Every structure is written in structure tokens, then in C-alpha cells.
Structure 1
Amino acid sequence: MEKIDGGVTAAKGFLAAHTAAGIKYQGRDDMAMIYSKVPAVAAGTFTRNVVKAAPVKWDQQVVGESPFVQAVVMNAGIANACTGQEGMGYCKETADAAGSALGIPSQAVLVASTGVIGMQLPMDRLRAGIGAMVPKLEDTRQAAAAAAQAIMTTDTHKKEAAVTFTVDGKTVTVGGMSKGSGMIHPNMCTMLAFITTDLAISHELLQEALSSVVDDTYNMISVDGDTSTNDTCLVLANGMAGNTEITEKNADYQAFVEVLFEVNKTLAKMMAGDGEGATALFEVKVINASSKAEAVTLAKSVVTSSLTKAAIYGHDANWGRILCALGYAGVDFDPEKVDLYFESSNGRLKIIENGVATGYSEEEATKILTADAVTAICDMKQGDAEATAWGCDLTYDYVKINADYRS
């Protein structure tokens, strides 16, 4: 496995485009498109929120029923959620317009939206955006980067990743982009993520691979505890690497799962660290827990604690908040055995041992907590299971951003 500089155009046969359609934002790109030169198999994971946006429902049907997919059309600014039958009709209109412009069936087009809930899409602008993007489709690095930029809402920077590995003597590439900064507390995947690969793999195994990596990547991040109506992760595989199609869970399949995990973990961490108003990525590692399920529960409890997140923002080694968050997670453990460490690029420090303070230096702890990425390591001393969750600090700006988001 080798990490490379790339995004959704890194894999063979994938092109991207972007445009400023004026969907809601003015003076910036707000639409993007991914296109495969040849038909691709597609897999997806979606929000478990009962309130599902129209694009989620459309994509669930396409991924489940369409024999192939070749394009994804995305817009930022308006989520097309809670928009009734009119919103569902707009998904079909979007797919029809893209299918017509690209010369592919409407059922080969996936759609994705992000932004304000409850507003209807201005379809004249969206159709014009599709018309503007199709002639601009390119397989360049710049096209991928611009597409990743175009789908942002409150994100402060684009999020991309790409990895290469070898299958059947062929070089295979997996690339992707995502967006997400607020309303991030996934229970399937993330707000929006798009992965492309030139691997040849069956539809069934592609879906199994994606589903298998979601729990330890997107499901382990949280910014604010709110699960979006639009959470969508899509993977397209077009087979242009030329490997023998993977149809069983052999060593090649396992290698792909590892690479897919790495790409999605990278994107997930980027989203957690770019939480609305955030100044630091907050990572929580629970080690030596009784079971993986308990480790996951404990790590999530700490990473979502508002009091702990506020302490991270204040560079305050307020370890009592972490121990408290472990305690109300619903997991039985002995608090008088827990050790806690803070770690960052500025050093590592044991804060508590067997449930009590170590007499650590507050000055040293503050230094560690001033880094851009901070890790809390919770040693439960109960077993050998572990889990890692990612979040961010809680700042004044989070409230400012969300107090007037619609306006």
C-alpha cells in the first residue's frame, strides 16, 4: 500500500468537473460531478436517521437495483431534505439531465446534496450547472481538487485521499473525497463521501467491503452528536486496472479492504478535525478493554462529551471529565484501575494512574494540549480489546456558525 497525492480522479477512467451554479451560494463553486468512462459497479452506505433526504432514497434505489453506475452529481448549499415528492422528483430530473448530457441511462446516475434542510432546489440552475460541467470533465489532479472544494459547506478545507496497491500483478488505485464539518455524528458513514477505484470486483463484494470498514472509520467520528439526514458514502469500481475480477474473499479482497479502510479513515479524521469552529482534532484511544464493543462505547462516550471537548479547547487537562464520560457510557469497569495519558506532537504524559492523579505538571499538560491534534489514551486494564474515536474541540465559533446557518 502506498499513499499518493490524489482524489477522485486518481483511479483510471474517472473524471471530475465543477461549476458555480448559484444553487444557494454566490461567488463560489457549488456543484461537482464524477464520471466513469466505462460502467462501474457501485456500493453505498447511508444515514440511519428516520428523516432521510430525497438523494439518499434515490441512491439507495440505484445502488440496490441498477446494473451499473457511471456518474455522480453533487450540489452544496441545499440538502433537498424534507422536500416531499417534489424533492424526489428533482432527483429524477437531475439524473435525467445528467444522463441525457452524458449519453447514459438515468438509472446510472447517483445524486447527492448537502446544505440547508427544507429548501427546494432551483432546478433551472442545477440543470444549467450540469450542462456547464459535462464539457469540463477531466481526469487531472486539479479537476479532483476543484470538485472536492465545490462540495464544501461550512468546511474550511477540502478533504481528499488516494492509495495504490497491487492486485493480480496490476496497479490498483483507490481515491476519494469527502465533506463534513457540522451535523456530524454518523451511524453508518459520514455526511458525504465519494470513493473511486479502478479495481475489478463484484457488486456484492464491493458492498461487503464498504460495509466492513464503515464501523471503524466514519462511525467513529463525531463533531456535535447530530446525525445528518443526508449521510451518504458511495464507492464506484470500474475495473479499468485490468485485474481478474475479485469474486471471492481471497487475499486480494482482504488487501482491498485494508486500502479502503485507510482511505476512509483518512477522510473521516479530516472531517473530525475540521469540525465547525474547531481548533484541534481530538482522538480518543481506549485500550485493554473487555471487548471491542465496550471499547467502542467508551471511546465514543469520551469523544462526544461536551465538557471534555470544551476542556480540550481550553488546553485544560481536566481529566475528571474524561473519567466521568467513561463512567456514564454504560460499561462496567473498575475506575480504580484506569490509567489516562495525554499525547500529541508536543509529548506524552500520564495524567492518572489507577484512577487518581499522578502529580503531573500542569504546565507540561497544557503544552501537550496546545497541539493541532491531541490524543487521550484510556487504559482500562480489563482485557485486550481497543477502539479509536475521533472528534474535535468545542469552541465559541461552533455556536456562532450554527446560530445563523440558514441566513
Structure 2
Amino acid sequence: MSASVSPLAPKVEVQVPPVPGVTFATAAAGIRYKDRTDVLLAAFTSGTTVAGVTTRSLCPSAAVEWCRSVLKKGKARGLVVNSGNANAFTGIKGREATELTAEIASRALGCKPSEILLASTGVIGEPLDATKFGGVLQATSDRLAPGPWIDAARAIMTTDTFPKLATVTVALDGVDVTIAGMAKGAGMIAPDMATMLSFVFTDAPIAADVLQKMLSKGVRDTFNAVTIDGDTSTSDTLLLFATGAAKARGVAAIKSYDDPRVRTFRKALQKVLADLAEQVARDGEGARKLVRVHVTGAVSRKSARRIAMSIANSPLVKTAVAGEDANWGRVVMAVGKAGEPADRDRLAISFGDIRVAAEGMRDPTYDEATVSEYMKNDVIDLTVDLGLGQGADRVLTCDLTKEYVAINGDYRS
């Protein structure tokens, strides 16, 4: 965990209300860190449904493979998350560790191992000693409570500099239901599913297949539109749990995606996912600036996304932003290498509201002092208009600083 909190961190701590049907507690198991919590245990009432999206890495962690098998059934009673060890690239020992962890958690919660979801984050290639969960999870289960959420969010942090929480309330059938979530992620963040660990909870009664469809659609413009360094993790996991506790307050179950209430819920869910995704971008390792890359005028939305990602992942663009230099030449480079339709002589590039280049050359109204002043801001909007069509998209990234190198150079030391 980094020594100082990112300057882009939220100024006010998010207050998350209890989510009926969800309790949790944290503990220090000594997985990797000393003198800090590194295990989160969450418990859900019977009938809880679950949906999830996991990394597309072809070298997934053992916990990811475990989750995939549990998600097929769509039911959950517990969640165990550990930080400090990703349990990835650990072979048969990794699979045995997931089985043992689920067995220990199921005994603590009084359910089946197949109803336990697992997530691990931290160093890759180091065997995870699951025996450390032995007495810890049982003792932790005796302290399960509906809060405080901030403790749970801290327990799953690795190089994060601040805990990430978000919540909204939405009315279904005239009854308020809660959606609340947490995330961790600061490095090895590139979209290919969800790019970190995130857990979202609601007391709405929603069938697992409906929940899955909402979540799969929800990641496109949230977690899949964030990149820190272009590297996709082996452990990326996003889970959405619905306890159904709101049924007791008169909310009818949502069993079909055609239910008109799905649109209402999805809109609220999107707010939570978007909030968490932006917090991940704000906490990029060593970040000092949040960068919003906008691409307009592309031949399609898909093309706009690819060009935006090419810009957002460019070390030259990101270091220019770190140096508060509006170097549009690097942006042109990133557009040109994306492999998507582009016409140099139609390009327009802006930083904020200041157009710095147009029609293949520097804008005639360009003023160095004005744009240099803009580049001092904590949030930078970089816009490229291709002038070819109606395709548009936006992705989030951050600048690339010396601290990123320091954090990752010392990560295993």
C-alpha cells in the first residue's frame, strides 16, 4: 500500500448504509502484510442470487476459476476476499487452496462450499497458504455485522491509497432498495472484463440470469472503459449479489429482463459502477491527474473506443500529461497507430475547451500560456475529433509519473 493518499482521492468519506441481507467482518490473517487487515468475510441470507464478470486473461487465477464454477448456479451464501496474494500461477496448489478456503468458510457460515465465492489479490506466483484461514474465518463469522463498510473496503486494498465505496438508493414498487459497492485497484488495470476486484450488493429481489445480463451490459462503459497501464490482471473479478430482502417490504421479484423495473434498477446500478470505476482511475499508481479521453467523429463507436484506448495507454501521452505539457504530437501518434480509420488533415485536438490542433496542423489561435495553465488542473479532458462519422466514446486513465515506476519496482521487495 502506498504511503500517501492520492491527491485525486474523494474529499469526503462515503457513508454506506446497511444492505439488508448482507453482513461482513474483516481480520488479519498475515497473508502478506503485517499489522493490517487482509481478509474480508461477507455472509448473505438464504436465497441470495449472484452474477459476475471475470478476467479474459488466458492465465486466470485459481480464485477466478472457482468463481466461474459457482456463478453457473447463480446462488451465494458467502464471499471470502484476501489481499497480499493473488493465488495465480500457483498450479495444483492454487486449486487446493481455493477448495480449502471454501470448505473453511462454508463451515463458518453453515452452507455448502459451492455457495462460497472467492477473490484474491496481490503477488502472482506465490503459493497461498489457505491454512491461515483456519481459525480466522470461524472467529470472523462471530463478528459479522452490517457495517462499517469502510473497514471492508480497506481490507481488500493492495497498492491502493484509499478505500473505494459507492452507494445509491432506488425505488422499486414504491419501496427504497439499496445498491452499495466497493472496489480495489490501482495498478495492472486495463479493460478486458472489469480490471480489478469489485463487489456490489443490493437487497432487491432479482433472478440470477437477469442480474447477469444487467452486469454484463453495465461494465462496458464503466470498468471496461478504464485503463491505468494497459496490463490486464489475472484476478479481475466483479461480483453482484442480490439478497432479495426487499421482498419482505413489498418488492415483487424481478424474474425477466423485460420487466419495466429493470431499466430503473440498471440506471442506478450504472451510477454505482461508474463511480467505482472512476475511483480506480483516480487511484492509479503514482497518479496526479485524472485524464478523460474523448473521441468523436469516428466511423463507429467501436472504432472510437479503440482510438481512445490507444491514446489512454500511450506512455508518451501519459508522461506528457504528467509534465503538464499539451503535446498534441503524441496524441496524433496514438491516433495513427490505433489501426482505425483516421485522416490526418481532418483531425482536431483539444485540451479542455482549448483547441490546439485542427486540419492537420497547429490551431491558428493556439496560445501556449493558456493551454499550459489548463494542464495544471487535476482533471484533464483530452478530446480528439476525427471528422469522419458519428462514432463517439470516452475512456478514463491517469498520468504516468516516476512514482509508478517506484511502486512497481519495489512491489515484491
Q: TM-score, normalised by structure 2?
A: 0.92
Report the Cα distance in structure 2 between the residues aligned to 1:380 and 1:312, rounded to whole angstroms: 21
The yes-or-no answer on 1:244 pairing with 2:249 is no
Equivalent position of 1:84 in the other structure: 91
Report the Cα distance in structure 2 between the residues aligned to 1:114 and 1:87, rounded to whole angstroms: 13
Contact 1:17 1:144 (8 Å CA) reproduced: no
**1:276-321 CA-partner distances (Å, limit 9, x unpaired):** 1111111101123221111111111111111000001000010111
Offset at 1:127? Answer: 2.3
Report the Cα distance in structure 2 between the residues aligned to 1:149 and 1:270, rounded to whole angstroms: 14
Offset at 1:39? Answer: 2.9
Equivalent position of 1:27 in the other structure: 35
Report the Cα distance in structure 1 between the residues aligned to 2:18 and 2:327, rounded to whole angstroms: 44
Contact 2:98 2:130 (8 Å CA) reproduced: no
Equivalent position of 1:290 in the other structure: 299
* Aligned ranges 1:50-129 → 2 under 5 Å: 50-65=58-73, 68-129=75-136
Letter of the 1:259 partner, please give it: A
Equivalent position of 1:189 in the other structure: 194
Report the Cα distance in structure 2 between the residues aligned to 1:74 and 1:106, rounded to whole angstroms: 15
**1:96-153 CA-partner distances (Å, limit 9, x unpaired):** 111111111111110110000111122232223312321221112xx21111011110
Q: 3-state DSSP class of the match of 2:198?
A: strand
Report the Cα distance in structure 1 between the residues aligned to 2:264 and 2:346, rounded to whole angstroms: 38
Structure 2 stretches lacking a partner, 5+ long: 1-12
Instruction: Select 1:147's aligned residue among 135, 152, 156.
Output: 152
Contact 2:84 2:158 (8 Å CA) reproduced: yes
Deviates more, 1:330-339 or 1:152-161: 330-339
Letter of the 1:169 partner, please give it: G
Contact 1:186 1:231 (8 Å CA) reproduced: no
**1:219-261 CA-partner distances (Å, limit 9, x unpaired):** 1111111111101100101111222111222321112222222
Q: 3-state DSSP class of the match of 2:93?
A: helix
Contact 1:70 1:109 (8 Å CA) reproduced: yes
Instruction: Select 1:202's aligned residue among 207, 220, 225.
Output: 207
Letter of the 2:159 partner, please give it: T
Offset at 1:271? Answer: 0.8
Offset at 1:6? Answer: 4.2
> Number of residue pairs matched?
396
Equivalent position of 1:281 in the other structure: 290
* Aligned ranges 1:290-309 → 2 under 5 Å: 290-309=299-318
Report the Cα distance in structure 1 between the residues aligned to 2:207 and 2:78, rounded to whole angstroms: 18
**1:68-97 CA-partner distances (Å, limit 9, x unpaired):** 202110000001011112211111111111
Letter of the 1:34 partner, please give it: A
Report the Cα distance in structure 1 between the residues aligned to 2:225 and 2:272, rounded to whole angstroms: 15
Offset at 1:5? Answer: 4.0
Equivalent position of 1:260 in the other structure: 269
Deviates more, 1:103-112 or 1:308-317: 103-112
Structure 1 stretches lacking a partner, 5+ long: none
The yes-or-no answer on 1:271 pairing with 2:280 is yes
Contact 2:335 2:342 (8 Å CA) reproduced: no
Instruction: Select 2:216's aligned residue among 181, 192, 211.
Output: 211
Instruction: Select 1:12's aligned residue among 9, 17, 20.
Output: 20
Report the Cα distance in structure 2 between the residues aligned to 1:386 and 1:240, rounded to whole angstroms: 40
Equivalent position of 1:171 in the other structure: 176
Instruction: Select 1:372's aligned residue among 378, 387, 391.
Output: 378
Q: TM-score, normalised by structure 1?
A: 0.94
Report the Cα distance in structure 2 between the residues aligned to 1:46 and 1:91, rounded to whole angstroms: 16
Offset at 1:384? Answer: 2.4
Equivalent position of 2:163 in the other structure: 158
Percent of aligned positions that are identical: 38
Offset at 1:11? Answer: 2.5
Instruction: Select 1:321's aligned residue among 324, 330, 352.
Output: 330
Letter of the 1:24 partner, please give it: R
Q: 1:129 to 1:373 in 2, by over 3 A?
A: farther
How large is the RMSD of aligned CA atoms in angstroms? Answer: 1.5
Equivalent position of 2:356 in the other structure: 351
Equivalent position of 1:223 in the other structure: 228
